[in-house]
Structure 1
Amino acid sequence: MELWIPITVFAAFCQNLRTAMQKHLKGKLGTTGATFVRFGYGFPFAVLYLLVLHFFFQQPVPLPNATMLIAGVLGGIAQIVATFLLIHLFSFRNFAVGTAYSKTEPIQAALFGFLVLGEHISLTAGVCILIGITGVIVISLARVPLSLAAIRNSLAGKPALIGLASAAFFGASAVAYRTASISLEGTGVAMQAATALVYATALQTLVMALWMVLREPDQLKASLANWRSAVWVGASGIAGSVGWFTAMTLQNVAYVRALAQIELVFTFLASWLVFKETIARSEIAGCVLIVLAVLGIILLG
């Protein structure tokens, strides 16, 4: 098995864990504060990871270059914008279709990867990606009673456009991070990923902290007051980011983001096994499609 596969699965698991803790924290902090702790409390862990690689595993820290600096900025800003757009979707009554569109990230990542890095995906992998996205869309719409007319109206509405924009920014940020990471020379893959991660997380922490100081100071105070819970969000978030950055340094972004859809399977397993929640048949069907897509990418893609 290629190394990027277990690393991606690990990253998806950590992201699932971080999201669960972030949702719990959102009740105390609000959207902005819960988003900030992912970066602000994650940054020290990113630095610690880089220092461990350098001092204990003797991996040299690469010198930054123009490509890394520019791509890191673009990736960090794009990820913040994508996150806010995704959260903004929930302010609409008919957000389900928009949310489903936001899950088209692997396709858009493949497009950006082709345009920016000249990367191609195989026909088999492309089919698997489409199957996986179909599964995600089925799950997204599973519990929403949508008539044909409602879907038709939603397709041209603001939620659909916001969903597509969110997916585009997520896809662009992933390609920008890969560009930043692979541009670094004179060190190993893990250190390439760690250096790009530290730079991007520092930028995101600074941007969000400045925003909160100027626009939402109460959110910043609440984020600091709830540090005992927030530190775990930061730790799990950075653990996932280490996985994402490393996997995307090793492999085409479209493959990594497609395999990452297994996160939804983790979500439903937790809902079923831990919280004893009832799972709809359509949600099970969506999970089956995602698993088939993941297996196809691993075995055939």
Structure 2
Amino acid sequence: MTTSLLWIPVTLAAAAAQTGRNATQRRLTETIGTVGATQVRFLYGFPFALLALAVMNLVTGEVVPGPNATFLTYALTGAVTQILATALMLAAMRERAFSVVTAYTKTEPVQVALFGLVLLGDHLTPAMGLAIAVATSGVLLMSVKPGTSLTSSGVKPIFFGLASGAFFALAAIGFRGAILSLDEGSPLIRASTTLVWGLGLQTTILLIWLGLFDRKALMASFKAWRPSLGAGFLGALASQFWFIGFALTTAANVRTLALVEVLMAQAVSHRFLAQATTRRELAGMLLILAGVGLLLLAQR
């Protein structure tokens, strides 16, 4: 496999690690609440990101690149918009419209492609655009249940879901912009450096926020440190692979291929929760696979 295609296995590894992290966080919500479970990915993931960067520095001998003003702007943008995206997603889910929220937040690849083109000048071919559209339509088909529609849950879930997808897209663009703005280093060391800064900023922001407005959730996350470590490790591992992917190719490529996470989550639900797969969901899966196949063919 050529270096130019390394983003494919890297992205697949990121999606697998994120599926595991989501499952771990879902269990944590039962003991420490939604906010507490959300912040463990940052608080407990940060030390693992620092350790990974230190090991890479020792093994490769590369100097860790120092930040510049452009890097800090992009990194802060990525950190803040990812937190806002998560908050908006949770707010939408509180409206009891999980499937519809999933559909709207998974419009992220489309928004990533647009933001990447405008803000970073990332190239988007017609074949890539078609792949993004096909894969995203598969997610929409899987998410909307029979007897419902994308508008059946009211205006709030629509607004929150689309806004969440937009902020997730801006986060991806922010972190890719930060990686590209570093003056030196291999893609691996630049990605790892950006991850440390991103998680560090997010940890600081959330510690201050929870310390001021939700100390109960903060203390609960400290008490549940053992399962939180698992979520933090998987979160840092997933982010490590996401960022390496962003260093190797456009954010649109990474986030479109990342839709295989939907298939992985479906497999987990089928295996451990004994949930049957409907024809609609099967059709959606086939569209996602078709979109991913088109994306990979577009790289040739």
For this structure pair, what is the TM-score category when the shorter chain's length is used for normalisation? over 0.9
Matches within 5 A, 1:1-301: 1=1, 2-94=5-97, 96-142=99-145, 145-146=147-148, 151-152=150-151, 154=153, 157-301=155-299
Rounded Cα–Cα distance in structure 2 between residues aligned with 1:48 and 1:35: 22
Q: How big is the shift at 1:96?
A: 3.8
Rounded Cα–Cα distance in structure 1 between residues aligned with 2:158 and 2:102: 8
Q: How big is the shift at 1:75?
A: 0.5
Contact 2:82/2:171 (8 A) holds in 1: yes
After superposition, the CA RMSD in angstroms is 1.4
Structure 1 residues 176-206: Cα deviation after superposition (integer angstroms, max 9, x where no partner) = 1000011112211111001110001001001
Q: What is the percentage of aligned positions where both structures have the same residue?
A: 39
Rounded Cα–Cα distance in structure 2 between residues aligned with 1:96 and 1:9: 23
Contact 1:8/1:243 (8 A) holds in 2: yes
Rounded Cα–Cα distance in structure 2 between residues aligned with 1:270 and 1:158: 29
Rounded Cα–Cα distance in structure 2 between residues aligned with 1:51 and 1:153: 50
Contact 2:144/2:150 (8 A) holds in 1: no
Contact 2:21/2:235 (8 A) holds in 1: yes
Rounded Cα–Cα distance in structure 2 between residues aligned with 1:49 and 1:294: 30
Q: How big is the shift at 1:152?
A: 4.8
Rounded Cα–Cα distance in structure 1 between residues aligned with 2:296 and 2:37: 34
Give the letter for the 1:257 counterpart. R
TM-aligned CA distance change 1:38 to 1:151, over 3 Å? closer
Rounded Cα–Cα distance in structure 2 between residues aligned with 1:160 and 1:274: 30
Q: How big is the shift at 1:241?
A: 0.2
User: Could you state the TM-score of these two structures normalised by the residue count of structure 1?
Assistant: 0.95
Give the letter for the 2:188 counterpart. A
Rounded Cα–Cα distance in structure 2 between residues aligned with 1:274 and 1:168: 32
For structure 1, the residue ranges without an aligned partner over 5 or more in a row are none
SS of the residue aligned with 2:60?
Answer: coil
SS of the residue aligned with 1:185?
Answer: coil
Q: How big is the shift at 1:94?
A: 4.3
Rounded Cα–Cα distance in structure 1 between residues aligned with 2:150 and 2:74: 37
Q: How big is the shift at 1:243?
A: 0.5
- The answer to which of 216-225 and 180-189 deviates more is 180-189
Give the letter for the 1:242 counterpart. Q
Give the letter for the 1:10 counterpart. A
Rounded Cα–Cα distance in structure 1 between residues aligned with 2:36 and 2:48: 19
Contact 2:93/2:101 (8 A) holds in 1: no
- The answer to which of 93-102 and 184-193 deviates more is 93-102
TM-aligned CA distance change 1:91 to 1:54, over 3 Å? same
Give the letter for the 2:31 counterpart. K
Q: How big is the shift at 1:95?
A: 5.2
Q: How big is the shift at 1:219?
A: 0.6
Give the letter for the 2:132 counterpart. I
Q: How big is the shift at 1:54?
A: 0.3
Give the letter for the 2:114 counterpart. L
Rounded Cα–Cα distance in structure 1 between residues aligned with 2:163 and 2:150: 18
Give the letter for the 1:196 counterpart. T
Give the letter for the 2:198 counterpart. A
TM-aligned CA distance change 1:82 to 1:151, over 3 Å? closer
Contact 2:25/2:231 (8 A) holds in 1: yes
